[in-house]
Structure 1
Amino acid sequence: MTMVPEKLRARYRTAEQIRSDGAVGNLFDGVSITVHGLDTRLLAWPGTGYQTEAVHVITVPPGTTGEEYTYDLAEEAILCRAGSAQVWLRDQWVTLLPGDIAYFPQGVQRNVRVPEDADGDAILVNQICPPQFDLYAPEYYNVDLGVINHDAVRKAATNAIPSPPATLPELELRTDQPEVRAQQLGAAEVSRAGALFNVLEGAAFSGIGLPMRLVLWPGAGTRLVGFNYAYCGLGVQDTIHTHPISDEFLVMWSGEGQIYLGDNGWIDVSESDVAMAPCGVAHGHRSTHDRGPSMMGGFASPPQLDLLIPTPYYEDGQFTEPDPSALTGAEEHASDHPG
């Protein structure tokens, strides 16, 4: 992990501090619990000041099958960061590889497994909207009183042992299993039973100054989960911004660069670091000539209406369903300013 000032690391900040001024998190640094039979790290959740979404990292060894579960209230997205996993989606087992995202609407049964012959652990990043805070009982959520045990959270977070893998693969565009991919199903069917997405394919967007794809958003059939993916080229800075009602968990998936975070200014970060920016916290990112480029992608809930209102994709409370396209290397590098 990059040598981020300790006072800015999420492990050393209270939920109130993160809620008001953000923090720098990391995909492999957080409180560990077991959720649905699987080892889970808690990153964005009520224990770190998030209200509209939770983001966890799940590690699934070969030969492991989780417990079947259904959320009648929450939507969920599961992104494959490394390895290979299978998820129960649309009444069948669907394979996830790095870059794939499985989307589950509320009320849909799901499960996760990794076959015994897999090459190694699967690393999955899941977004749950709204947070299912009963998952955190009894250690970190008091069911009888309906409150988070913040003292317990603080001690567990401060003493958590980071576990970054030695290497991580690039997130790649994938088009296999077309029968369950969102592009073949349409938004209405995605909303009904879920679908398979990919980080590099979605509606084209450049509203904050970077080549980007809107991946999980209402125009693609999701309602509460949201995910965008962008390339931050050499010498490029996006527009520093806030979201009025959307908590965001902005991940540097590869490369290195800087993030802007609240009153903390610009901070050096690298692969797997995260700008934790609850609603109202100013944030942005840039690549300098000695730090960059990077691939950035953010989970936000609800999907960021403030970004969508100025686009042709939205009018008078309704969304269009634009044709998705792939974010290509040529489009990415056309935005570089290497001078």
Structure 2
Amino acid sequence: MKRAYNFNAGPAALPLEVLQQAQEQFVEYEGAGMSIMEMSHRSGLFEQVNNEAQALMRELLSIPDNYRVLFLQGGASQQFAMIPMNLIQEGRPAAYVHTGNWAGKAIKEAKLIGETVIAASTESDDFKRMPSLSEIDVPEQASYLHLTSNETIGGTQFAAFPDTGNVPLVADMSSDILSRPIDVSKFGLIYAGAQKNLGPSGVTVVIIRDDLVERSPKSIPAIFRYETHAKNNSLYNTPPSFSVYMVGLVLKWIKSKGGVAQIDQYNRDKTKLIYDAIDQSGGFYRGVAQPDSRSAMNITFRIHSEELEKLFVKESEQQGFSGLKGHRDVGGLRASTYNAVPLESCKALVEFMADFQKRHG
């Protein structure tokens, strides 16, 4: 079997070791006589899977005791609505940092639910950078401040996070969770769709501080209250059981690689190869994001001709590469180098880029 060089933005590459272990356990899990997908989510075996995945998340991110780890459904897109539904308080607006496509979608949903203000925006720079921390104006009475830690489409990433004092900091970390160490205690709520760094699509991780769980108003449906899921250990309704199981395997894999700090260094080594290839191409390739806002997860770049970009994608696919076409909204090229993308794939991409430039430069 020849594995593709997988640079897809999501669903994205999974560790080969994880896929092989899942394959071995696919038909029968732990002597149960059935697949994990067939067993009751109320069974002791699945509760063990659920609890172990939570415990590993706590361990790898050093999550304090006064936070809950929830496994929910609906993706980050559902969180765009659940967060304001649960956290906006009367007379206290929700503040948002506008940094691109995904932040924009979160803002659009929040405006449907309550008063929303923009604490900072880089729209005037075509979202090619993240705002400096000094640019973020947090209203003292804000219900929370929301930011997107990594913009998958634009290829920008926060290098550091603001100190918001008594205002809870909420972060969409869908595309960079567990790719680098973070101080969870700086945040009130962190959420992430699994399909980039944590596992397959279908499950969303929410890490939420206890006092914010208690904000859940009784006026919204039970299924949309964080309190409901916290009280039921993420088992209020039937969970995406296979996806939770896969997240557990990925977390074990991260631990086996030395944890988040080692993964962070590995990611830096990978992305440096590609950014160096762009910067040293004499202008043939051009990075999209401003250098101090460049993402370690999504590398966006252009060639001077759209025809050449189309040819780049076509030839790369013929050479076994997948996912190098930029997002349909912005065009260009993009290599997503999430945790499970091997260094060897990045080296192969750099070699392809050099060869392509030699032939078409």
Does the TM-score normalized on the shorter chain lie above 0.5? no
Compare the two structures and name the one with the higher helix fraction: 2
TM-score scaled to structure 2, two decimals?
0.27
**Structure number with larger C-alpha Rg:** 2
Q: Comparing both chains, which one has the higher relative contact order based on Cα–Cα distances under 8 Å and sequence gaps of 6 or more?
A: 2
Q: Which structure is higher in strand share?
A: 1
Name the TM-score, length of structure 1 as normaliser: 0.28
